């Protein structure tokens, strides 16, 4: 801070702003420990696209009758299936057993085709952070969960680094920073989805443009290179941000350098070339609009008034407007975790107050061209959001536009935030703006954490706890047998088992003799594994390697010797189950409930 002649406190040009992304990083890092995998909308497909990139796949494959996709490790597919039960079911919570089973899934090396609808249009360079985490995790021998968590970390670290660079190039206003600490922003930055990197990249674009508009003829040449590369990467994966290309052309007005025209042309051609290739090679059969997308576009382009009528009808719907506002602030998960109304009220109030103390028209006469261009880009991007969803998500002919979410307007909102702030002078607002930002940060982080715990882990009511009692079976005798009582899941929805562990009781003695583990599949196939009874340890699990088949029953047959028991769990009013550990062929582990883990 510094003191100027009027005695009022102001923040210096960049004081603290490059460190602000560090605070965002720490908050999101903690939230990522709470948020289960794949809970950001379409995150399944984004992670698939990143995995395809690790295999060198830039253009997706398009088998007949399927959406475009690629070959994916079956371990990753199993990991996705483990968390695929959560979306759209707010009452579904995670148990420790489910987490154990999912977190132990390994990379298998086996490949199967998996579609990734909607991602073939995105230039894959944007997925480098996710791909980096996945490939490093796989090379280090981490589980699929460990690799996924590493991918999340690399995405968050990369986005935070980009934001720090952007804030050093041009400091943001408290309003622009406030948009980054909304619950929706926290949630998306904490995921392995695309929003975190694309939003950070957009802020870098705006920051570079503002710096060039301020420095004018003194602009460093490298800024134009950064601006052009960032626009190509961001716009080629976020088509509705196509108006950002205008910022490159706009630099000509400020710097008086024709290189801006060349850079703008290069960016435009690069983006159009990629989109042409992507649209020709990608098939997306997620949504049935009734007509091909190209045909719907050809309907509206010559008839812009038809688009305007549908747009006005959409904006006249009060429920939709309410949804846009709430989903901009934050409806978390797959739009299945809304906040209470009072939280939205608090978020609205803090954002509006921050905006009031962040807006400045002090130097409007010299800054209006840059500000106007930012607002025009925001308006154009917003219109493209509606148009894109009209032609790709709404049944044709449409009366209203479906599929629009508030988070799609994050970058347009950031453009407006920078336009309101101006910034050709080093000084910023009075301390009240950053103070409101700090209040919003704490309010948002607290309520986001509370909602995530409620959504994914806490039941609405305390479940009735079944009573479990561990008992040892009667000791076996020579020539006798002990039946293995598998759990209901293995009997009626069997997994292919790579290993199984059985908990034996030897009564603290060595028991000489031989026995066989016999396991049966539903088709009647039998696997026989002989073992020495003297190798057993009292009250410990013994592992048996299996050939990966879906076994549904088994027994221990004692060829010689005896005096061995199996530990079992007796559940009140339920079946008796042997204490077993099931390890599936993909590495996932499951434990008998009530037995030692």
- pLDDT tens for 517-530 read 999 999 999 999 99
* Span 128-140, average pLDDT: 96
> How far apart are alpha carbons 510 and 536 in whole angstroms?
8
* Span 314-343, average pLDDT: 96
| Tokens read off for 204 | 């870098």
Diameter over CA atoms, the chain: 99
* Span 119-134, average pLDDT: 94
SS3 at position 69: strand
Residue ranges, comma separated, of all CATH 2.60.120 domains in the chain are: 468-591
SS3 at position 568: strand
Please report which confidence band the pLDDT of residue 8 belongs to, taking 50, 70 and 90 as the band edges: very low
Q: What is the pLDDT of residue 286?
A: 57
Q: Are strands 551-560 and 540-549 parallel, antiparallel or unpaired?
A: unpaired
Of 428 and 558, the structure prediction assigns the larger pLDDT to 558
User: What is the H or E stretch that residue 436 is in?
Assistant: helix 432-456
SS3 at position 176: helix
Q: What is the pLDDT of residue 501?
A: 96
> How far apart are alpha carbons 202 and 378 in whole angstroms?
12
Has residue 178 got a pLDDT over 50? Answer: yes
Q: What are phi and psi of 281, to 5 degrees?
A: -110, -5
Has residue 562 got a pLDDT over 60? Answer: yes
* Span 526-543, average pLDDT: 94
Angle in degrees, 0-180, between the axes of helices 432-456 and 20-34, rounded to the nearest 10: 10
Has residue 284 got a pLDDT over 90? Answer: no
pTM reported for the whole predicted model: 0.87
* Span 507-515, average pLDDT: 90
Which CATH fold would you assign to the domain 468-591? Jelly Rolls (2.60.120)
Has residue 425 got a pLDDT over 60? Answer: no
| Tokens read off for 388 | 């894109």
Count other Cβ atoms within 10 Å, centred on residue 542.
14
Count other Cβ atoms within 10 Å, centred on residue 272.
12
Q: What is the pLDDT of residue 269?
A: 97
Residue 303: partners with Cβ closer than 8 Å, 6 or more residues away: none
* Span 49-69, average pLDDT: 90
Of 149 and 425, the structure prediction assigns the larger pLDDT to 149
Instruction: Give the C-alpha distances (Å, rounded to integers) separating 459 from 82, 84, 264, 454.
Output: 19, 19, 54, 7
Has residue 381 got a pLDDT over 80? Answer: yes
> How far apart are alpha carbons 40 and 187 in whole angstroms?
8
SS3 at position 583: strand
* Span 37-58, average pLDDT: 95
Instruction: Give the C-alpha distances (Å, rounded to integers) separating 377 from 180, 244, 371.
Output: 19, 6, 10
Has residue 566 got a pLDDT over 60? Answer: yes
User: What is the H or E stretch that residue 490 is in?
Assistant: helix 488-492
Q: How far is CA 505 from the centre of its chain?
A: 45
Of 461 and 384, the structure prediction assigns the larger pLDDT to 384
| Tokens read off for 208 | 């570079």
Residue 83: partners with Cβ closer than 8 Å, 6 or more residues away: 36, 37, 38, 39, 102
**What Rg do the C-alpha atoms of the chain give, in angstroms?**
29
Of 228, 223, 213, the closest CA to residue 369 belongs to 213
* Span 189-197, average pLDDT: 95
| Residues paired with residue 355 on neighbouring β-strands, in sequence order | none
Q: In this predicted structure, which of 9-13, 16-20, 409-413, 525-529 has the lowest mean pLDDT?
A: 9-13
Has residue 289 got a pLDDT over 70? Answer: no
Q: What are phi and psi of 514, to 5 degrees?
A: -125, 150
> How far apart are alpha carbons 126 and 118 in whole angstroms?
15
Q: Specify the DSSP class assigned to residue 126.
A: G
H-only helix segments in 290-431? 293-300, 304-315, 318-329, 341-356, 364-392, 410-421
Cβ atoms of 239 and 388 within 8 Å: the answer is yes
SS3 at position 43: helix
Instruction: Give the C-alpha distances (Å, rounded to integers) separating 461 from 91, 337, 473.
Output: 11, 18, 36
* Span 416-442, average pLDDT: 77
Please tell me the number of Cα atoms within 13 Å of 585 on its side-chain side. 16
Q: Are strands 565-571 and 468-472 parallel, antiparallel or unpaired?
A: antiparallel
Q: What is the pLDDT of residue 421?
A: 80
Please report which confidence band the pLDDT of residue 9 belongs to, taking 50, 70 and 90 as the band edges: very low
Please report which confidence band the pLDDT of residue 413 belongs to, taking 50, 70 and 90 as the band edges: very high
Q: What are phi and psi of 127, to 5 degrees?
A: -95, 10
Residue 213: partners with Cβ closer than 8 Å, 6 or more residues away: 250, 251, 254, 367, 369, 370, 424
Has residue 285 got a pLDDT over 90? Answer: no
Has residue 429 got a pLDDT over 60? Answer: no
Has residue 432 got a pLDDT over 90? Answer: no
Beta strands in 86-167 (DSSP E): 111-115
């Amino acid at each position: 801070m510094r003191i100027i002649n009027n005695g009022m406190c102001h923040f210096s040009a960049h004081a603290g702003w490059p460190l602000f992304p560090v605070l965002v990083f720490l908050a999101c890092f903690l939230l990522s420990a709470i948020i289960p995998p794949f809970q950001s909308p379409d995150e399944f497909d984004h992670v698939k696209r990143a995995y395809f990139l690790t295999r060198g796949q830039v253009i997706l494959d398009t088998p007949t009758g399927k959406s475009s996709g690629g070959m994916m490790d079956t371990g990753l597919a199993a990991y996705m299936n483990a968390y695929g039960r959560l979306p759209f079911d707010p009452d579904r919570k995670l148990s420790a057993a489910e987490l154990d089973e999912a977190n132990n899934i390994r990379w298998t090396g086996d490949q199967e085709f998996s579609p990734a609808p909607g991602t073939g249009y995105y230039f894959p360079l944007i997925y480098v952070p996710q791909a980096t985490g996945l490939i490093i995790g796989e090379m280090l021998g981490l589980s699929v969960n460990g690799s996924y968590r590493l991918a999340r970390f690399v995405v968050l670290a990369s986005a935070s680094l980009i934001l720090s660079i952007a804030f050093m190039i041009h400091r943001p206003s408290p309003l622009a920073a406030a948009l980054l600490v909304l619950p929706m922003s926290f949630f998306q930055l904490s995921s392995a989805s695309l929003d975190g990197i694309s939003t950070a990249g957009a802020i870098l674009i705006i920051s570079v443009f503002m710096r060039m508009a301020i420095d004018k003829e003194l602009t460093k040449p490298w800024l134009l290179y950064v601006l052009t590369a960032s626009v190509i990467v961001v716009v080629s994966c976020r088509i509705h941000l196509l108006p950002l290309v205008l910022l490159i052309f706009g630099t000509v007005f400020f710097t008086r350098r024709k290189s801006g025209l060349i850079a703008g042309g290069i960016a435009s051609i690069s983006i159009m070339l990629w989109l042409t290739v992507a649209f020709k090679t990608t098939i997306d059969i997620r949504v049935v609009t009734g007509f091909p997308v190209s045909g719907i576009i050809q309907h509206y382009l010559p008839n812009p008034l038809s688009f305007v009528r549908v747009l006005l009808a959409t904006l006249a719907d009060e429920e939709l407007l309410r949804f846009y506002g709430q989903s901009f602030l934050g409806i978390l998960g797959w739009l299945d975790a809304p906040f209470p109304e009072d939280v939205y009220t608090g978020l609205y109030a803090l954002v509006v107050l921050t905006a009031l103390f962040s807006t400045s028209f002090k130097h409007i006469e010299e800054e209006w061209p840059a500000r106007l261009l930012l607002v025009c880009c925001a308006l154009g991007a917003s219109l493209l959001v509606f148009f894109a969803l009209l032609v790709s998500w709404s049944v044709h002919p449409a009366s209203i536009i479906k599929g629009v979410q508030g988070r799609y307007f994050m970058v347009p909102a950031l453009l407006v935030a920078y336009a309101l702030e101006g910034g050709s002078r080093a000084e910023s607002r009075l301390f009240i703006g950053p103070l409101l930002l700090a209040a919003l940060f704490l309010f948002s982080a607290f309520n986001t954490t509370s909602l995530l715990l409620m959504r994914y882990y806490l039941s609405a009511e305390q479940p009735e706890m079944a009573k479990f009692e561990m008992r040892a079976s009667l000791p076996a005798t020579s020539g006798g047998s002990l039946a293995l009582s598998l759990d209901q899941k293995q009997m009626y929805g069997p997994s292919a088992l790579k290993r199984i562990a059985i908990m034996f009781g030897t009564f603290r003695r060595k028991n000489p003799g031989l026995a066989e583990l016999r396991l049966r599949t539903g088709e009647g196939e039998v696997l026989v594994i002989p073992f020495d009874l003297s190798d057993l340890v009292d009250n410990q699990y013994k592992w048996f390697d299996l050939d990966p088949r879906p076994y549904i029953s088994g027994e221990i047959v004692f060829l010689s010797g005896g005096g061995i028991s199996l530990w079992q769990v007796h559940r009140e009013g339920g079946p008796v189950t042997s204490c077993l550990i099931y390890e599936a062929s993909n590495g996932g582990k499951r434990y008998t409930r009530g037995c030692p883990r």
